[in-house]
Structures are given as structure tokens and as C-alpha cells.
Structure 1
Amino acid sequence: MTPTTIGRASLLALLAWWTWRFVPHPLNWLLTNGSFLHLINLPFHEAGHILFSPLGEFMTILGGSLMQVIVPLVCAVAFLRREDWFGAAVCVWWAGESLVDVAPYIADARALQMPLLGGGTGAEVEGHDWEAILTRLGWLNLDRTIGMWTHVIGSVVMLGALLFAAWLLLNKRGDKAVEA
């Protein structure tokens, strides 16, 4: 086995472990917010509020969650342009994980119990993105349903990307540079 194959197999094992931790525990913000991956997603989420701010208040609020899913997809495209299918699969997995990460936030729109970045919960301070988004859309009563579907979609994306990456690894495919 080459060092690249060993590295990819190790990364795949780590992603499988995280998938195993997140998928069976929908809407568990203690698990997702306590994860190292949440700390990776959070700066992109916050940057999204700023980057989407020229598009108005609604998009400023939605932009945080959008950005934390868009960034991994942009990274996947960058890997695809290099014909690195394994790298793209890992980034697609990350996009799925970002959906799983945001799902508890969506589901908390009525309960407002999740701690927010500035301290306090949504019930204690203003600024719960998904309370504002779902209220404006008239969908606040669907917060848990939308959160659960977001978790399910994210889980399917994570599992699909994981299986594809494993297939690439087992068939020694995924990167032109590695195949050469």
C-alpha cells in the first residue's frame, strides 16, 4: 500500500466514525455543537451572514446556513476540476455533515433552547437565525419536521459520499495523480 492509500484509508475510517456518531442521533445539538467539525463549520456560517448581507435582511440571516453548506461544495468542485474524485467525495461528505450540523438549529426555532455563539440561548437573546427565517416564511410550526428532513438529507449525502470514497479506494481510483 502506498502512503497515499494509507492516508486515504485513515481519513475514510475517521469519516466513517463521525458518520456513525452523527447519523443515528438526529437533532442532537449537544453532539453536533460539541464536535470538532462544528468548529470548522462555524466560521463559514458566520462569514455567510456578512457575504450575503448585500442581498437584504432575509438573505443575511439565511446566508449563514447556506454558506456552511456551499463552502464544502465549492471545495468539491475544486477537487473535481483536478480530477481528484476521492477529494471531491470527502468534500461532499463534509457538505452532508454541514446539513446534519445545521439541522438541530432549524429544529430549535420554536424551543429556542440551543446556546448561540454570543452566549445565551435563542430564548434569552435575539438572533436565532432559524426562528427568524421560519417565522417570515410562516413555517415556524414545521421547525422540527424541516430540521429532521435536513438531518435525513445530510445523512444520506454523508453515507453516499462515504460509500463512493470507499469504492474509489478499494478500486484504486479517485485521482489521476495517484493512478499514474
Structure 2
Amino acid sequence: MNCPQCGCEQADGGSECPRCGIVFAKWRQRWTSPRPGSAAVREAADDTDREPGFWETLLFHTPAEVNPIPWGARLFLLAVLTLWGVKFIFSPIDAQATLSSLWHLINLPFHEAGHIFFRPFGPVMTSLGGSLMQLLMPAICLVVFLIKTRDPFAGSFSLWWMGQNFIDLAPYIDDARSLSMPLLGGNVGRHSPYGFHDWEFILRETGLIRFDHTIARLSHGAGALLMASAVAWGAFLLVRQYGMLQRRPR
């Protein structure tokens, strides 16, 4: 081989040049590492010093310090929501699993309050208001958690709740023609006056009654997508926080 600095010919495998004395390993490191001011160094500095964008800050904000106890509690909550979500997603629309669940009891007061809140906007909006309020409550929580408290993990829980509400509404929509589902008060739709069953009234008044099963499937599908997205979002946040836990001084 020839010395890269003075050109002296020498045996292969040497560690330094006998004529000029350069150390070959140091020479290689010098010429293969990015030089100060080079594009590679500037790019690395840009990545290190880059300010997170608006959406990254909003959706993936990570606190300066992560406490392992709340982190473990959130991991447990995420596991529960994952298993619960799988149960909801793979239950048929006409199953009683949705209507007999704890979440249906949680959603019901908001549903009934929605009828009162939207009453000034006419009979169709009064009927639709119950379903809208079920979706508005988790949406409001989502906005508050992201903007006010800067807690995207809580926001992912709100998104999961919104998805669950879409699935909760699907059997009600699907029942618009058969009118066999038990309603508040113990009656079924076919034995109640016209307008008592929200989605029968909404779909008949809008001329969409023949699409009840399609709309129900769309509602169930939207709920499944939101719940799966919420679990993935929450898992990503916990993985990022776990990395911070690993870097904590011990």
C-alpha cells in the first residue's frame, strides 16, 4: 500500500507510515467524519435543535419528567381499553353486548340531555340531538385535554370514548324499521307513538329509512376505526414516555 499523505510504499497492514509518521486509523477517521460546517453536520444539528411543529406538540406532547407510577396506571388502562374495544368492535350490531354494557349507562344521560338541548331547533334536531350529544361530549373532552391540559393520552381516551359512542348508536339506527329494541321506559318502538323512537323518526322524516342498516354499519365502522386509532395513539405516547423513563438517572 502507499501512504495517503506522502505516497511512501510499504507493507499492507501497517498502523503508521515510517516516513511521515501519520497514523492510518486517525487519517481514516478524519476524512470519513463530517467536517464542521458540512451539510451532514448541519442536518444533524437541525434534527437535534428542531422545534416540534404545531400538530406534533398538540398530539404527542411529552412532559419534561415521567413518573413511573402514573405511567404504569396508564399502561393498565390502555390494556383494559384495548380488550374492551376488541369486544365492542367484533360484537354484531344487533347484539345486546352494546346496550347492556356499562358504557351505555354512561352515555344514556348525555343522550337524554341532548334532546333537551336541541329542542329549540325543531323536532328532527330534537330527536337527533340525543345522538349528537353522545358524540359531542367526548369531542369536547378531547379538545380540552389537548389544548387546555396538554394531555394527549387523556385525549386518546376521549377519542376511544367517541368511537364507543358510534358503536353504541349503531343498534339504535339499525332498529329504525324493525322497532324491536327496548326503549327507555320499557316499551319497544312498535308499541310507542311515532317520534318516540329517535332514529325511526329521523330517517322517515329525511326519507332515508331504507338505508337504516347501511347507516348503522357505517356508524359501527367509524366507531371501530376511532377506537383502534385511539389505542394506537395511546400506545405510541406510552412508548415515547417509556424511553424517557429509561433515560432517568438512577
**Structure 1 outlier segments of 4+, above 4 Å:** none
Following superposition, the deviation at residue 26 of structure 1 comes to 3.3
Aligned to 2:227: 158
Asked if 1:95 is matched to 2:162, the reply is yes
Superposed, 1:8-23 pairs within 5 Å as: 8-23=74-89
Superposed, 1:44-55 pairs within 5 Å as: 44-55=110-121
Q: Which protein shows a greater Rg?
A: 2
With over 3 angstroms needed to count, the CA separation of the structure-2 counterparts of 1:29 and 1:64, relative to structure 1, is farther
Aligned to 1:138: 207
Aligned to 1:148: 217
User: Percent same amino acid at aligned positions?
Assistant: 45
Residues 122-152 of structure 1 deviation map (CA, whole Å, 9 limit, x = unaligned): 1111311000000011111110110001100
Aligned to 2:49: none
Following superposition, the deviation at residue 20 of structure 1 comes to 1.0
Following superposition, the deviation at residue 6 of structure 1 comes to 1.3
More helix by share: 1
Unaligned runs of 5+ in 2: 1-66, 243-250
With over 3 angstroms needed to count, the CA separation of the structure-2 counterparts of 1:60 and 1:29, relative to structure 1, is farther
Aligned to 2:176: 109
Residues 10-69 of structure 1 deviation map (CA, whole Å, 9 limit, x = unaligned): 111111111111101231340111100101100000000000111111111000000001
The RMSD of aligned alpha carbons is 1.2
**Higher normalized contact order (CA 8 Å, seq sep 6+, divided by chain length):** 1
Among 40, 53, 58, the alignment partner of 2:106 is 40
Task: Measure, in 1, the Cα distance between the counterparts of 2:84 and 2:180.
Answer: 24
Q: Do 1:45 and 1:68's aligned partners in 2 also have CA atoms closer than 8 Å?
A: yes
Asked if 1:65 is matched to 2:119, the reply is no
Task: Measure, in 1, the Cα distance between the counterparts of 2:182 and 2:171.
Answer: 11
Task: Measure, in 2, the Cα distance between the counterparts of 1:148 and 1:26.
Answer: 10
Aligned to 1:178: none
Task: Measure, in 1, the Cα distance between the counterparts of 2:83 and 2:94.
Answer: 17
Task: Measure, in 2, the Cα distance between the counterparts of 1:151 and 1:12.
Answer: 21
TM-score, normalisation: structure 1: 0.93
Asked if 1:171 is matched to 2:240, the reply is yes
